[in-house]
Amino acid sequence: MEVGLQLSLKCLIPLPDGRCLLLGRASAPAAVGAELALMEGDTACPIAHGAFYPLPAQHGTEGSGAAPAHGFSLIADRVPKSPRLVLRAGGGSASAESVEHIFETAEAAGTSGLAKLLADQPPALGFALLRDAGTHAALASLMTLGGAPLGAFAEWMARLHPVRGRTVENLPGVEEAEALHSLGGDILVVVRGGAAFPPEARLELALVGLLPGAGPLASRAVALPLFDGHAAALPQALVLHGRIDPAWLDRLSALEVVLQLRMGAEEVHLLRCRPRAATVPDLLDAVCRTTLLAEAGEAGSTEALGLLRLLTARREAAFEPMLASLAAQCPQDADAGGQLPRIGLILGADDPVATRLLQVTAPEFEGRCDQLLILGDAAEEVAQAFLRRGRLPVLVGPAAVAALRQAGGVAAVLVVEAPRFAEAVARGRPAEAFSRPLGAADLARLLALHGAAGCEPGLEDSLVRLLRLERHRPGEAAFLPVPRGWSSPHAAELVNAHLARLWTAGLKTQGLRTEGLAAHV
SS (H, E, C) 300-341: HHHHHHHHHHHHHHHHHHHHHHHHHHHHHHCCCCCCCCCCCC
Write the secondary structure of 223-271 as one string of H (helix), E (strand) and C (coil).
EECCEEEEEEEECCEEEEEEECCCHHHHHCCEEEEEEEEEEECCEEEEE
Report which of 293, 285, 219, 255 is spatially closest to residue 496, judged by C-alpha positions: 285
Q: How far apart are CA 238 and CA 232, in angstroms?
A: 6
Do 189 and 88 share a structural domain?
no
Q: Domain ends where: 105, 134, 156?
A: 156
- Domain endpoint, select from 248, 278, 308: 278
Domain count, the chain: 2
Is the distance from CB of 111 to CB of 146 less than 8 angstroms? Answer: yes
Residues 17 and 124 in one domain: yes
The Cα 276–Cα 283 span in angstroms is: 10
Say yes or no: 75 and 190 in one domain. Answer: no
Distance CA 447, CA 260 (A): 34
Whether residues 130 and 197 share a domain: the answer is no
Could you tell me if 99 and 183 lie in one domain? no
Total residue count of the chain as it appears in this document: 521
Beta bridge partners of 218: none
Residue 354 within a domain: no
Same domain, 121 and 258: no
- 204-183-372 Cα angle (round to 5): 170
Q: Does 216 fall in a domain? A: yes
Segments forming the whole domain that contains residue 219 = 161-278
Among candidates 261, 241, 238, 260, which has minimal Cα distance to 191?
238
Same domain for 10 and 148, yes or no, is yes
Q: Convert 154-169 to b/e letters by CB count within 10 Å (16 or more is b).
A: bbbbeebbebeebebe
Q: Is 236 left (phi over 0), alpha (psi -120 to 50) or beta?
A: alpha
Q: Are 331 and 439 in contact (CB under 8 A)?
A: yes
- Is 103 inside any structural domain? yes
Task: Please state, in angstroms and rounded to a whole number, the distance separating the CA atoms of residues 308 and 193.
Answer: 19
CA 278 to chain CA centroid, nearest Å: 10
Among candidate residues 77, 126, 79, 85, the one with its CA nearest the CA of residue 103: 79
In the three-class reduction of DSSP (H, G, I as helix; E, B as strand; rest coil), residue 426 is classed as helix
pTM as predicted? 0.86
Asked whether residue 197 falls in the same domain as residue 111, the answer is no
Q: Does 61 map to a domain?
A: yes
Whether the Cβ atoms of residue 374 and residue 446 lie closer than 8 Å to each other: no
97 & 167 share domain: no
Query: For each of the chain's 521 residues, which pLDDT tens digit applies?
Result: 455 678 888 888 888 778 888 888 888 775 456 778 888 888 888 888 888 887 766 544 444 455 677 888 888 888 888 888 888 776 777 887 777 777 666 666 554 567 777 777 778 888 988 999 998 887 888 888 767 778 888 888 888 999 988 899 889 889 999 999 999 999 999 999 988 899 999 999 999 999 887 655 567 889 999 999 999 999 899 999 999 999 898 899 899 999 999 988 778 899 999 999 999 999 999 999 987 655 555 545 899 999 999 999 999 999 999 999 999 988 765 555 556 788 999 998 888 877 788 878 888 899 889 999 999 888 998 898 899 899 999 999 999 999 998 887 788 898 988 888 888 888 988 888 887 888 888 999 999 999 999 999 989 999 999 988 888 777 778 899 999 999 999 999 999 999 999 999 988 654 555 555 554 44
Q: Pick from 114, 122, 183, 168: which is nearest to 146 by CA?
A: 114
Beta bridge partners of 479: 514
Is residue 81 in a domain? yes
Which residue, among 248, 177, 241, 180, has the nearest Cα to 210 in the 3D structure?
248
Q: What is the pLDDT of residue 90?
A: 66
Task: Tell me, yes or no, whether 506 lies in a domain.
Answer: no
Residue pair 465/479 in contact by the 8 Å Cβ criterion: yes
73 with 145, same domain: the answer is yes
CB 12 within 8 A of CB 20: yes
CATH number at 128 reads: 2.60.40.10
Task: Check whether residue 40 and residue 67 sit in a common domain.
Answer: yes
Indicate whether 206 and 101 sit together in one domain: no
Identity (one letter) of the amino acid at 203?
L
Residue at a domain's end among 233, 257, 278 = 278
Q: Does a structural domain hold residue 56?
A: yes
Amino acid 521: pLDDT: 43
pLDDT at 519: 45
Does residue 407 fall inside a structural domain?
A: no
Indicate the residue type of 411: A
Rounded distance between C-alpha atoms, residue 222 and residue 150, angstroms: 8
Buried b (16+ CB within 10 A) or exposed e, 32-66: eebebebbeeeeebeeebebebbbeeeebeeebee
